Amino acid sequence: MILAEQKNQQKTQDLNQLLKVRYEKLSDLQANNKNPFEITKFDVTHHSQEVKDNYDVLEGKEVTIAGRMMFKRVMGKASFCNIQDLKGSIQVYVARDDIGEDSYKDFKKYDVGDIVGIKGTVFTTKTGEKSIHATEVTLLSKSLQILPEKFHGLTDTDIRYRQRYVDLIMNSETKDAFIKRSQILSSIRRFLDGQGFMEVETPMLVPNAGGAAARPFETHYNALDEDVKLRISLELYLKRLIVGGLERVYEIGRVFRNEGIDTRHNPEFTLMELYQAYTDYYGMMDLTENMFRTVAQEVCGTTTIPYAEEMIDLGKPFERITMLDAVKKYAGVDFNEIADTEEAKKIAKEHHIEFEERHTKGDILNLFFEEFVEEKLIQPTFVMDHPVEISPLTKRKPENPDYVERFELFIYGREMANSYSELNDPIDQRERFAAQEEAFAAGDDEANHTDEDFLNALSIGMPPTGGIGYGIDRLVMLLTNQPSIRDVLLFPTMKTLGKENQ
């Protein structure tokens, strides 16, 4: 134990000395009127990968690049360094006779982590590596911290999430995932725009956080002296726009749910909801299947996606199964044969399903689904026709009013989307809100509350409408083969340092 403490102390002392040297180098630069932080601009003509990809055209021609120096090897009058930028990295050959004696003397003092600009000609070394022969080297920013050891990368997940900027520098896989995230969002927008949808924005601070089963964050709006909530969904305001005559609308935005954190949940996350007048949940199934297939092909170049140990096939038609049939298939229980809530509770006890006293037959069917079915749905599957008790904003099935026209899309055992034939009957909707208020009074903190303005909008008249919500982060997880939602959020929610054990 003592030896380990001594090694840690020595390591800290060595690190402090290295940091001290970097600050001294900065002071010397500033004393000689070479302060890098005074530079405001550097004209870049190419990125590293562009130089490599277009080598046949650029060989022997002058280019300028800029990026972070990740490696440096000084060999007398000539040196090599490696510059990393947005697109990748490239080797640079730096010789005293080409950049000048004073500049070369400065270059030898530069540190790994410094940001530099390079002007030079494109060539290939004797070992066959495409490189840049520098004619000018400019220090653009001095790094005063020590990067993690390059060859081992940054593997500590806590540091990776807290210091994403370091993670992006050290791990190319991280950068690639977030570049792909941006491409996914662009592809979604292109697809929906091509289908005649209009992108809109709705409020984040709301008096009534409805549209989903979740506990909201609450705050106080000083200017109005009112308590408000952060939205938990986008639904109720987007439906107001359908009432107003905007027939196809969508929004991609942050929502906030005061719940736990795990590999699939973060309290703030990106949700996309869209609503289309004059269609139903079958129309939403077709749109969803086409969109997932299109985005995968555009971003990944294939509709067969590797995820964990599975190959997910987005190219073939997605399976469609009712919740009743799914529970019958995987749990061996036919809820069509269960007469009422009391019998459902009896069956639940026999199958060791925990439930609350307030739960009805429909609630218990859903509990069976969560326990026995979800994890089995690896390939894309639309689970249809949920019980009305868990679907307060959805149209009932005319032939079976205990169930609604709703589906959830599952891939790899995870819910990827949730869709309804939207309830547009204001009388029925008021009754559903009343049932939700009773559930809240009975202890359900995630129940919806009555939204009078939304009911007024429905009273004015909303056309038959299909709507759907997509968890964008989970879609990005799927298409980038990432195991945790934190791996696709640039800055995931973390407990404040110093409070981890409180």
β partners of residue 359: none
Q: Spell out the residues 6+ positions from residue 129 whose beta carbon is closer than 8 angstroms to its own.
A: 91
Residue 31: the pLDDT is: 96
Residue 320: the pLDDT is: 98
Q: Angle at CA 436, nearest 5°, toward 284 and 342?
A: 95
Q: In a structure prediction context, what are the per-residue pLDDT tens digits for the chain, which is 502 residues long?
A: 566 666 667 667 777 899 999 999 999 999 999 999 999 999 999 999 999 999 999 999 999 999 999 999 999 999 999 999 999 999 999 999 999 999 999 999 999 999 999 999 999 999 999 999 999 999 999 999 999 875 455 678 888 999 999 999 999 999 999 999 999 999 999 999 999 999 999 999 999 888 788 899 999 999 999 999 999 999 999 999 999 999 999 999 999 999 888 888 999 999 999 999 999 999 999 999 999 999 999 999 999 999 999 999 999 999 999 999 999 999 999 999 999 999 999 999 999 999 999 899 999 999 999 999 999 999 999 999 999 988 888 899 999 999 999 999 999 999 999 999 999 999 999 998 898 888 888 887 777 788 999 999 999 999 999 999 999 999 999 999 999 999 999 999 998 877 655 5
What token pair was written down for 470?
Answer: 């997509």
**What are the helix and strand counts (H, E) for the chain?**
16, 20
The b-or-e profile of 305-340 (16+ CB within 10 A means b, else e) is: bebeeeebebeeebeebebbbbbbebbebebeebee
C-alpha to C-alpha distance for 174 and 487, rounded to whole angstroms: 8
C-alpha to C-alpha distance for 450 and 458, rounded to whole angstroms: 13
Residue 151: the pLDDT is: 47
Residue 438: the pLDDT is: 87
Residue 157: the pLDDT is: 84
C-alpha to C-alpha distance for 141 and 123, rounded to whole angstroms: 26
Single out the residue of 279, 288, 278 nearest to residue 320, CA to CA.
288
C-alpha to C-alpha distance for 187 and 142, rounded to whole angstroms: 37
What phi, psi does 17 have (nearest 5°)?
-65, -40
Distance of CA 43 to the CA centre of its chain: 32
